[in-house]
Structure 1
């Protein structure tokens, strides 16, 4: 109405579902008709390009454990891998669900989401989310029983709670510039150090260096994602770190996050010569940084995100080789 100013929506406010959103309109033209999500849509919802971030800390943690015990604990390593991957997928579906029901994904630059794009019912996405969290919990329980480290149950519970409240609940911390901190702690420190501990009940300093590197790569991927969505997040009231510090500062922080692990690799190479090969990861992260600094369209940042994720996996594989070689 004329004479009235529009109120800015907060992070927790419900956004009206627009029937004009092309993502929500079926081919019939009736916005009330919901197209059924295909297997490809569900695979896309798992966000496979982020899964290397779950594998990397397990590789590094397993390599660090080898420094303490000459024996490979493959069964425990696979258990840790299952926990990490299942939790990563669960987080991705949880974000899809929470952002979708809030209306944050009503206007997207990247691929359409299951919930926000109207491809699946929110309840269905929630059930799938909880299923993956349950599978991660069962895998963690198996590792705990095997190692008799019962306090790991509390760690697992904190991980799942943290994963949900990243974008879920009334006050999601991912909407208040704390997403990178969560990612660094859980997908860097906890995942790497936890992998090492369950195998050898010790944490050498090499594991700490590797954990920091893995966490920084994961944060860089999140930064690339949030830089892509910076305008949409600002409009939706989602206060990510990128929204708070702006485009230029995000570009600087991203560059630091992808180069710092290389510096860690060079330092470790003094003691483990194969670690010099981590310099090869520059072939992936430098193009990613170049895209972050020069992109013209937000969609280009999807490539930067993918290159950084692959760079994390390559780095972890080379560090694993350095530790066991």
Structure 2
């Protein structure tokens, strides 16, 4: 593998559609409520992509340092693990994406100040810094939260609640409580992708001391948990639609349900962890489809 290919592999491009799901949904919800800024949308998208790549690079580095990336790992070989990219090179690239994420985030906030007070701006800045810290501390540091079963909670908060609500707020300058429903739905689907990843890596994670929620719960309970995540996401979307019913176009998001249900069936029947690897990309794309159809259905 060439170094260029190794870096592209380390960026884990297949995770990017998942990262965009919350930005797209938050922006489409804003359009439906009469508020949208193209600059906010583009900058939020750029910031999120930088944060996702930062998280992927930090995860590659952290799992390499901890020993979670080894020959027994089921998923694709990581960049540092392969030896093509050194730990020093990975650390430097992590720093580059911290700077890029911070720069894009500050620009985003600057544009958002036309709708926000300075107090709100400082709160958003604090949340942005927390997002950068969370992206790194998932597997890097003395006490990475991804090794203590808290990865699911952080994904739900940052990829669901903060991602959708924060994007909407930057567009519109206000929030209403029912937005928690679609924001939570996307958050739960994103957690589902993480849970798939952890189901695939359960055996090796347990051996290397990485206590994901799957390792803590056990495979059988983790499968039930997965069904609850996907099922609850669909229910929350239906509740929001019921509360804000205007036209049948709002049911467009139901087009994503067959793909989500298929994922639930595959996971419930799975006996070979390695067979779950392609499901990560499928569920990520299904989550993006859900976000797009949900938001577009509100606009039509």
TM-score of the superposition, structure 2-length normalised? Answer: 0.92
Report if the CA contact (8 A) 2:256-2:289 is conserved.
yes
**Alignment partner of 1:89 is 2:53:** yes
2:76 to 104, 111, 119: 111
SS at match of 1:202: coil
Match of 1:201 in 2: 173
Deviations 1:27-71 (A, max 9, x none): xxxxxxxxx643222222112221122111111111222243x25
* CA distance 1:121–1:154, change in 2 (3 Å): same
Segments of structure 1 that go 5 or more residues without pairing to the other structure are 1-35
Give the Cα–Cα distance (whole angstroms) in 1 for the partners of residues 179 and 24 of structure 2.
Answer: 11
Q: Compute the displacement of 1:245 (Å).
A: 0.2
Bigger mean CA deviation after superposition, 39-48 or 172-181: 39-48
* CA distance 1:71–1:160, change in 2 (3 Å): closer
Give the Cα–Cα distance (whole angstroms) in 2 for the partners of residues 286 and 59 of structure 1.
Answer: 22
Give the Cα–Cα distance (whole angstroms) in 1 for the partners of residues 112 and 260 of structure 2.
Answer: 37
User: Who wins on radius of gyration, i.e. which is larger?
Assistant: 1
Structure 1 residues 140-159: aligned runs within 5 Å: 140-148=105-113, 149-159=121-131
Segments of structure 2 that go 5 or more residues without pairing to the other structure are 114-120
Match of 1:177 in 2: 149
Report if the CA contact (8 A) 1:115-1:125 is conserved.
yes
Match of 2:262 in 1: 287
Match of 2:10 in 1: 45
Bigger mean CA deviation after superposition, 130-139 or 171-180: 130-139
**Alignment partner of 1:241 is 2:213:** yes
Bigger mean CA deviation after superposition, 290-299 or 76-85: 290-299
Report if the CA contact (8 A) 1:175-1:240 is conserved.
yes
Report if the CA contact (8 A) 2:35-2:172 is conserved.
no
Give the Cα–Cα distance (whole angstroms) in 2 for the partners of residues 192 and 291 of structure 1.
Answer: 28
Give the Cα–Cα distance (whole angstroms) in 2 for the partners of residues 45 and 290 of structure 1.
Answer: 30
**Alignment partner of 1:212 is 2:187:** no
How many aligned positions are there? 289
Deviations 1:233-288 (A, max 9, x none): 00001110000000011111111111222212222333153232222212212222
**Alignment partner of 1:125 is 2:97:** no
Match of 1:278 in 2: 253
* CA distance 1:127–1:235, change in 2 (3 Å): same
2:27 to 38, 59, 62: 62
**Alignment partner of 1:99 is 2:71:** no
Cα RMSD over matched residues?
1.5
Give the Cα–Cα distance (whole angstroms) in 2 for the partners of residues 91 and 289 of structure 1.
Answer: 26
**Alignment partner of 1:230 is 2:202:** yes
Give the Cα–Cα distance (whole angstroms) in 2 for the partners of residues 210 and 266 of structure 1.
Answer: 9
* More helix as a share of residues: 2
Q: Compute the displacement of 1:177 (Å).
A: 0.4
TM-score of the superposition, structure 1-length normalised? Answer: 0.85
Match of 2:117 in 1: none
SS at match of 1:132: helix
Give the Cα–Cα distance (whole angstroms) in 1 for the partners of residues 94 and 43 of structure 2.
Answer: 20
